[in-house]
Amino acid sequence: MTSFHYTTRQPGETVEKLLREQWQGGKKSVHQMRMDKSVTNAEGEPVEWKEPLPEGTELIFGFNGVHSSYKPEPFDSLRVIWEDEHVLAVYKPAGLSVHPEHAPGTGTLMNEVMGYIESKGGTYAEHIHRLDQHTAGILLIAKHPLAKTMFDRMLEQNQIERYYTAELEGQLRKPRGTINMPIGKDRYHATRRRVSPSGQSAVTHFKVLERKPDTTLVEAQLETGRTHQIRVHFAHLGHPVVGDQLYGSETIARGPYKLVASKVAFTHPITSELTILETE
C-alpha cells in the first residue's frame, strides 16, 4: 500500500486540520481516506480525525487501492536526483517522452519510473509537470495522491520555481529581462505554438550566463508553463534555441536542441523545508 509517515509538531493537531486546512488535500482523496480509516498511529490503530493529538505523535497516512496505469519497465538507466516519501525527482534525457500518448504505451520515462516505484513497494507515480520530448532535465513526480494535489496547486500558484539553461542563436542584446507575450496555437502547424494576442498569458524571466562567438547561453525562469514557452519566446525575439528547427533554428546541431531544465526550487508543503534541486 502507498503510504507516508508524519510526526505532529505541536499539541492539539488533528488529522482533520492537517488534511483539510494545512495541506488542503483534494476532497475526493480526503473523503476516501476517511471512509477507509487509512490514517493510523504507529501501532496501526485508526486515529479519530477530530481528536487533538499530543506533540510528537507518529501518524501513518495510507492510500488503499491507488494505482497508476503506467506499465512498469526496466529502470537501469533511470537517474534519481532526489526523493522522499512524497516526491521523486529524476533526470529526463533528451529524446525520451515523459509519458505515453495512449495507454498502455511503453518506452517512456514514466514507464521506467513505475518500474522503480514498484521495486520499492509503491503503486503510485504521477508527473507534476512536463518537459518537451527533446528537453532534458529535472522532472518532479508525486508518490501519492495527496502530494499530487498539493504540488499541482503549488504549480498553479507559481510556488515551484523552474529554471532552464538554453543556448540561443546569435547575440542576445539585453543582459537580463522579462518576456511577457501570450502564446497560442499556430493555425498552420499542428504542434507548433506562436506568440498571439489571443493566446494564454506567458511570462519568462531571463539572464545571460555566457556570450559565445555565435550564441548566447541564458538562464530562463518560468512564471507560467505554456507549451514550448521558452522556445517560442526566444524564437519570437529572433534568437531560437540552437538546434530547434521547429522554431527556425538555422544551426545544424548534433542531437537534440540546447535546452535543459537545470533547477527546481520549492518550499516542501509537508516538511516546510526549502528544497533546491539542480542538475550536475
Active site residue 132: yes
Answer for the pair 125, 140: CB distance below 8 angstroms, yes or no.
no
pLDDT at 214 over 80: yes
Q: What is the pLDDT of residue 47?
A: 95
Q: What is the CATH code of the structural domain delimited by 79-157?
A: 3.30.2350.10
Of 114, 249, 233, 98, residue with least CA distance to 174: 233
Record the cell numbers describing residue 162, joined without a space: 523552474
233: cell is 519566446
- Outline which parts of the chain fall under CATH 3.10.290.10: 2-63
Grid look-up 479519530 returns: 48
Over 90: is that where the pLDDT of 138 sits? yes
Q: Grade residue 167 by pLDDT with cuts at 50, 70 and 90.
A: very high
Mean pLDDT of 269-278: 95
Closest C-alpha to 278, from 9, 37, 91, 59: 91
Decide if domain 2-63 falls under CATH 3.10.290.10. yes
Q: Is the pLDDT of residue 218 over 80?
A: yes
Residue 30: pLDDT band with limits 50, 70, 90? confident
Q: How far apart are CA 33 and CA 42, in angstroms?
A: 17
Cα–Cα dist 243/258, whole Å:
7
**What does the radius of gyration of the chain's CA atoms come to, in whole angstroms?**
21
Whole-model pTM over 0.75: yes
pLDDT exceeds 80 at position 103 = no
Q: What is the pLDDT of residue 151?
A: 96
Fold of 162-261: Pseudouridine synthase (3.30.2350)
Average pLDDT rounded to a whole number, residues 54-66: 92
Active-site residue identified among 36, 84, 132, 244: 132
Boundaries of CATH 3.30.2350.10 in the chain? 79-157, 162-261
